[in-house]
Chain A
Amino acid sequence: MTAISRSDGTTGAGDHLVIPDGGVPAGPKRRKGELGYRLAVGWLVLVIFVCFFGDWLWFVKDPGTLNASSGIKSGPSGDHWMGTDALTRDMFARVVSGGRESLMIGGIATAIGMVVGGLLGLVAGYFRGWVDSLISAATTIIFAVPALVLVLFVAALRANSGGQSRTSLIGALSILAIPPITRIVRASSLQWSEREFVQAARVIGAKNGRILFRTVLPNVVPALVSFAFLALGITIVVEAGLAAIGGSIPEDTWGKIINEGRGTLDLQNAPHIAMAPSLVLFLTVLALNWVGDSLVRKLDIREALL
């Protein structure tokens, strides 16, 4: 559409943005990149394990228990690794249970985005024509509303009766996750649908459904999976943003704990309340981006990245 061809054949502007990786490998050298990649994977595994199995781990206390003897908003110590909050609850335990909520909400929203966006992108790239135009138009329209505003609006409408519910929040976040995944998968599907083995399948009379799922889909999966890491990071960040302005669910999430500790007095006297979840959130998003980015580079995916 508006893509401008450069002399070397890459598209420079318009619909598709080039992944910032212009010939020269970005970031650390290969060996160091491997180390960072392993650290990132390790951190993700650790966070997911501790968050989801925290109830059965001896070093994670119960997030609801009050520890009057430890004092209100006491700083990090050997007994309470991340200190205590205003009600003397253990901050580490709260960050763990908040993380479970954050990761679950982000994870389910991303999974919905992968399934719906993946199918839409696959179909759009394979059939082209009016199907493609329709799906592309729909993604363009959703892109016209900034992410946080879109989630705010959809979640507000769904949560109209009573407080914000988890389901409505996940629904709103998945609407956010669908369009970029659709675009990535569509671009990948467009390329693969042109290949000889897909045409061969058509020639021997395979049905569209079979061709899509047996020949195109397996080749599209790498792009889908590596982008899913980036999408998970985005959904978690948007949820945290929403929670920090008071628009998320009543249960603890990382964003909600940050919101709780962001008052001037708390930042002055007990910065650990806001900083502990902030640090974990940052490291998790960093790890997700690192893994996603490494996969994109390893698998040499060069499609639209928004």
Chain B
Amino acid sequence: MKYALTRLAQAVVILIVVTFLTFWMQTLLPGNPCIVATGGLTSDELVAKCEVDLKVGENVFVRYADWGTNFISGDLGESYVNGRTVWDDLKQRFPPTGFLFLYSQVVALGVAVPGGIWAAYMAGRKAKRNIPTWLPFAIVGGIVAVSIALGTSVFTLILLAIFATVVIQTLRGGAAQDQLVSASAFFLLSVPVVVLAIVGQWLFAIRWNLYDLSGYTPPSEGLFDHVKSLWLPSVVIGLSLSPVYLRLLRADMIQNLQQDFVNVAKAKGMPPSTILLRHVLRPSTLTLLTVAGLNVAQLVNGAVIVEVLYDVDGMGSYLVSKFLGREFIVVQTLVALIATIFVLANLAVDLFYGVVDPRVRVERSKG
């Protein structure tokens, strides 16, 4: 309990400092913020209203306190370009981003958990078949030569080469499969979200026509259409998140596999799948949770880019449109909001440890 309170206090301090700094930076802009922030695109009435709302001319602490109380009470200000309140916009913009976050986490964990378990289980095992090192190179080289002779596209060629590598590594078995999974994770980790999104768009929306770039459909208009409107952006964000989970899960599970309780379980004849899921995966969920909390930042980055690229009317594209429109007052409020969500998510993860892991509860009650 004492621990929870300390963490809560810390989170509150961080939030106050972050929001104050962003607010203060925004007020440092020269000129009347009401005119600067809207680029003179607005009517005199709105500027006058804005000046009253923002208490222009007062000192920064007074203005921050005013902004802060409004922020906490849910009044996020309004856009002085069109007079709409930020809250109204957000209510409309939140569902797509919320679903995007949810689905991409599902995709990321769906890829990373089986992959990580498999890699950890296979790591350090002996290969089943002894395939010499030169053979895969020869086969891939052969495929390349034949494709060039047949005049297939570079793209098909790459796919074939990847397929051949997967087959060979699978045939090898044992540690080779761990290498395959780890190397794929490493490659995936190095693909920038922008590149992944562009390639996804090119392949699935244009070459194969499996995704419509028509924007978001709410679930109320049919679940199928809803999933259809979000699957590609979710897969893109999910894939970009998954290697982070996978690598940590693999490392953590390899450590757990060396524990005595795993030997005991083996000795009493427990099947490997039960050992993996019940005795090895369960302690690793803690690590997974921490990363999930930290990954919210990655999720936001991905969402901003993917929403703009795929024309999803979510919070990310809202932020970008306000940024491009130079409405700094709104941008600052949104940054504060995102930071709040991020800090609270990490706080929740931290407090949740105790629930998941009894060892943590004991340690915390001691210290």
**Chain A residues in contact with chain B, CB under 8 A?**
2, 4, 6-8, 10, 12-14, 17-24, 26-29, 140-141, 143-150, 152-154, 156-157, 160, 233, 237-238, 240-241, 244-247, 255, 258, 262, 264, 267-268, 271, 274-275, 278, 281-282, 285-286, 289-290, 293, 306
Contact = CB atoms under 8 A, between A and B. Distances in A.
A149 B205 contact: no
B290 A144 contact: no
Contacts of B166: none
B328 A156 contact: yes
B78 interface: no
A237 B196 CA distance: 12
A55 B350 CA distance: 53
A241 B301 contact: yes
Nearest to A31: B133
Contacts of A148: 300-301, 304-305
B97 interface: no
Contacts of A27: 179, 182-183, 186
B304 A149 contact: yes
B281 interface: no
Contact of A244 (B259, B305, B339, B359): B305
B138 interface: no
A258 B335 contact: no
B14 A282 contact: no
14 contacts: A20-B247, A23-B254, A27-B179, A27-B182, A145-B22, A145-B342, A146-B300, A148-B305, A241-B193, A262-B198, A267-B202, A278-B195, A281-B192, A286-B187
A130 to B, nearest CB: 16
Given A144-B18, A145-B18, A262-B309, A245 B192 contact: no
B192 A241 contact: yes
Interface residues of B, number: 78
B317 to A, nearest CB: 8
Interface in B156-201: 178-179, 182-183, 186-187, 189-195, 198-199, 201
B294 interface: yes
Contact of B190 (A12, A244, A262, A282): A282
B328 A160 contact: yes
Contact of B206 (A23, A246, A247, A267): A267
B48 interface: no
B124 interface: yes
Nearest to A4: B360
A121 B320 CA distance: 33
A258 B338 contact: no
Nearest to A265: B206
Given A144-B18, A157-B26, A247-B324, A14 B290 contact: yes
B286 interface: yes
A238 B192 CA distance: 9
Interface in B293-340: 294, 296-298, 300-301, 304-305, 308-309, 319-320, 323-324, 326, 328, 331-332, 335, 338-339
B99 interface: no
Interface-centre pick from A4, A27, A245, A258 (highest chain B CB count, 10 A) = A245
Nearest to A156: B323
Contact of A23 (B258, B324, B342): B258
Contacts of B338: 145-146, 149
B70 to A, nearest CB: 20
Closest 7 CB pairs of A and B: A20-B247, A22-B251, A286-B190, A146-B297, A22-B254, A146-B300, A20-B251
Interface in B126-175: none
Given A156-B323, A245-B320, A281-B192, A22 B250 contact: yes
B-side interface mostly = helix
Contacts of B26: 157
B10 to A, nearest CB: 9
Contacts of A233: 190
B343 interface: yes
A20 B202 contact: no
Nearest to A8: B255
Nearest to A153: B335
A267 B201 CA distance: 8
A10 B305 CA distance: 36
Contacts of B202: 267, 271, 274-275
A52 to B, nearest CB: 22
Contact of A289 (B182, B186, B255): B186
B32 interface: no
Given A17-B248, A145-B339, A7 B123 contact: no
Given A144-B343, A282-B192, 5 more contacts: A17-B294, A156-B328, A241-B305, A245-B320, A267-B202
Contacts of A146: 296-298, 300-301, 338, 342
Given A267-B202, A282-B190, A285-B190, A4 B290 contact: no
Nearest to A26: B182
B265 interface: no
B21 interface: yes
Contacts of B42: none
Contacts of B30: 160
A281 B190 CA distance: 10
A3 B280 CA distance: 20
A282 B191 contact: yes
B353 A13 contact: yes
Contact of A4 (B15, B305, B363): B363
B198 A24 contact: no
Contacts of B301: 146-149, 238, 241
A153 B22 contact: yes
B52 interface: no
Nearest to B296: A146
Contacts of A149: 300-301, 304, 319, 335, 338
Nearest to A145: B339
B192 A18 contact: no
B169 to A, nearest CB: 11
Given A10-B255, A157-B26, A240-B194, A268 B206 contact: yes
Contacts of A274: 198, 202
